[in-house]
Chains A and B, each alone.
Chain A
Amino acid sequence: MASCAIHGGCPSDYAVVGFAAASFVLLCIRASYPFLYCKGPRTRTNDLWIVVVQIFGSFNLVLGFVMSLNYFNVNKRHPWQSCYIWGVWLGGALGFGLLISFRIVQVYQLYYLFVKRRLPSIKSNVLIPLILLPWMGGATAISITKPLNANCHIHWQWIAPVVCFIMLYISALIWLAYAIRHIEFRFQELKDLLRGIIISATATGVWIIAYVLIEVQEYNSWVQVISRFLLLFTVGILVLAFFSMSISQPLLSQMSLSGRRSVGYLTMGEALGIREGDSSQKASHSDVDFNEPLDRLLLDDNFRRSFMAYADSCLAGEGVHFYDEVLELGKIRVDDPAKRIYMARHIIERYINSGTEMEVNISHRTRQEILTCEDLTSPHLFDHAVVELLQLLKANLFKDYWSSVFFMKLKAEQCKEPDGQGSLDHLRHPESSSFSWQW
């Protein structure tokens, strides 16, 4: 017992390593479940990158602790078994440091979106390395000054600065959480954040206590074993509880293992609980005049669905889908800024950002206007884009739609309606000369 308490390899060590490994596997399942089993649009690179970074950081944290604290009693002869590589760099900077930096970036994005109501000016792939830089600097300083002993325990003098450094990052999280506390989030972002803060603060506290006990009770085998057990046990809990998708992909957070809703495809409108429209919006068939301009016709649900299907068949459907979602945005009350921001952000990520699957064909100027807008809640955010796309749809698709199968099907469906009085009269093929174009 005395031997394994100091050099590792006790049964409790193996048990806790098993627990940490199981936690990591569970984390991987939880993170990948929405992508593997959920129906819906194809996964974007952004969503995968969020998962990959968190899994990478968690893996480093677990492995760093296991190797540096020598749970398996491996003789440390080789340079690659150095404490500094496993404990400081892998477990510290690229493990815990990466996870907490990533979470700070996520909350910063939330702050920018919901408090400043703008898209973040600095991209996350630039911000994460910036916030991680102090961790790299700290790891470099420790590697140079070499304050770790043979058992990878840090010298007394270093505990206070290290703890203060970690608390600085946790304080940043607390400050950002305070700044966004009044926002009515829809997808439990604040709850996730508070959980992350509590877990990371608790884990830090447990690590400090465990390290102190290991140092103070150096010759007490039970204290050594229990402290080592607690260290890795806390890591296992932390990697599971710290994981969050909600900030960057609300829909996937709904579908996560711990979600309340059943797995299935949701539109953002459905996820936000935007109703399809009241009865006056579903205009009665006799109200629809097919000589109306396209933007009026698209307000009718049946026509819009039919035209969308036609546009999809011509590989030009993204414009109609965009229009559809902008209509949904228009249904959100102006005094509900959080919902408007969710919807606006979703539309931007899906239709406006360059390289997305459903990127719409708008001018660079209009695209930049949206991406640099001062207020995401503005009711006129997408006006210019809508005008451009309507022109595009009118010029490319509108004329040929009337002779398409989709219009025939729409006509046939209208004829089947119980209230068929006069329903055929307004479904005549409109003369092209009587089209009115509205600019």
Chain B
Amino acid sequence: MGCLCSKQKPVRTSDAEENAKAAEIEKRIAQEATAEKHIQKVLLLGAGESGKSTIFKQIRLLFQTGFDEAELRSYIPVIHANVFQTIKILYDGAKEFAQNETDSLKYVVSLENKETLSRGNLIQVPDCAQYFMKSLRRVSDANYVPTKEDVLYARIRTTGVAEIQFRRASFLFQPRGREQEERGVYKLFDAGGQRNERRKWIHLFEGYDQALFEDETKNRMMETKALFDWVLKQPCFEKTSFMLFLNKFDIFEEKALKVPLSVCEWFKDYQPVSSGKQEVEHAYEFVKKKFEELYFQSSGPERVDRVFKIYRTTALDQKLIKKTIKLVDETLRRRNLLEAGLL
């Protein structure tokens, strides 16, 4: 911070320069503080493997410079590790399945034999398994350079907190001045979702505006429900808007037709009505309704003003994510205008 000379001392030229510099520094600090206030801070919260980091990568691709070749190449070991991990899980799973059946050759792990992979839901195969196993020859090539899609599929467990800042062009307003331009600036934070990583979330909670809460319609549903409930009740989120991303919709579409929703305790009152796409839509609407009910149950009267929206997402689909972020942005701007009394 700047320092001031004593009033008793005569003002010399060097002191005047120092004062001017100090004033300039204070002015810049104040400007940055003002700019900081207009930056929308967004936290990506959710259980492990729900897709937070994939959204994070998508934002980088859409609104930042994306990945250069060096960065793409840096994902080669990660992708190879995902493949090794998949093979190990398939191998262990195959051994387990073979023990319980007479035809043990049925589960031999090979590029052609998908028998073990087809029972992936029983042995916790990662979501990227199918994608990389289909492209095994390509990723194992000596001159392999990952594509953007490969990078999105690559699975790295997040530890600690990563942040990026991006700017989103406004569709509601043309940029007229510095202030309105700043309103389109977002700071996005990605944190790990495993239990030990969640205790670090508290460091992010003070002074944040929105929380992008991801969810997955998989076996960890009950944990996710408890997590969502807990986050909603945090005092620091009293005025925070929540954008709930019901993620991995592509997987949900497949599963909803094979496994009844009622296997999950939270959805035990679900009754299927039809089949095919209609059934998927019905199942999705049911899940959405459950989250809405949970939101209103967990939100007291002092929290009625905060915005809550649910979005259906597939984090790996760039077009869909771009569209979703646009909707999120519009919602937030509308809220800001409401708060400013302009709407």
Chain A residues close to B by CB (< 8 Å): 311, 314-319, 354-355, 357, 359-361, 391-397, 399, 431-433, 435, 437, 439
CB-CB nearest in chain B for A359: B196
Chain B residues close to A by CB (< 8 Å): 70-71, 73-74, 77-78, 81, 84, 156-162, 191-192, 194-197, 199-200, 203
CB-CB nearest in chain B for A316: B160
Q: How far is the CB of A439 from chain B (nearest CB, A)?
A: 7
> What are the residues of chain A within 8 A of B70 when measuring CB–CB?
431-433
Q: How far is the CB of A291 from chain B (nearest CB, A)?
A: 14
Q: Offer 22 A-B interface pairs, CB within 8 angstroms, sorted by A.
A: A314-B160, A315-B160, A315-B200, A317-B160, A354-B195, A354-B196, A355-B195, A359-B196, A359-B199, A361-B157, A394-B77, A396-B159, A397-B159, A397-B160, A399-B74, A431-B70, A432-B70, A432-B73, A432-B74, A433-B70, A433-B74, A435-B74
Q: Complex Cα distance A317/B197, Å?
A: 11
Q: Complex Cα distance A437/B73, Å?
A: 12
Partner pick for A392 among B84, B159, B162, B195, CB 8 A cutoff: B159
Contacts A399-B74, A439-B81: A360 and B203 contacting too (C-beta < 8 A)? no
CB-CB nearest in chain B for A435: B74
> Contact: B160 with A311, CB < 8 Å?
yes
Partner pick for A361 among B162, B194, B203, CB 8 A cutoff: B194
> What are the residues of chain A within 8 A of B195 when measuring CB–CB?
354-355, 359
> What are the residues of chain A within 8 A of B192 when measuring CB–CB?
361
> Contact: B74 with A396, CB < 8 Å?
no
> Contact: A319 with B196, CB < 8 Å?
no
> Contact: B156 with A315, CB < 8 Å?
no
Contacts A361-B194, A433-B73, A437-B77: A396 and B158 contacting too (C-beta < 8 A)? yes
What 7 new A-B contacts, CB under 8 Å, besides A315-B161, A359-B195, A396-B159? A315-B200, A317-B160, A361-B192, A392-B157, A395-B157, A396-B162, A435-B74
Contacts A392-B159, A433-B70: A315 and B78 contacting too (C-beta < 8 A)? no
Which residue, A391, A396, A397, A435, has most C-beta atoms of chain B within 10 A?
A: A396
Q: Complex Cα distance A391/B156, Å?
A: 9
CB-CB nearest in chain A for B69: A433
CB-CB nearest in chain A for B74: A432
> Contact: B74 with A319, CB < 8 Å?
no
Q: Complex Cα distance A315/B196, Å?
A: 11
Q: Complex Cα distance A317/B160, Å?
A: 8
> What are the residues of chain A within 8 A of B199 when measuring CB–CB?
357, 359
> What are the residues of chain B within 8 A of A317 when measuring CB–CB?
160
CB-CB nearest in chain B for A357: B199
Partner pick for B81 among A315, A318, A355, A391, CB 8 A cutoff: A391
CB-CB nearest in chain A for B195: A354
Q: How far is the CB of B93 from chain A (nearest CB, A)?
A: 13
Q: How far is the CB of A61 from chain B (nearest CB, A)?
A: 38
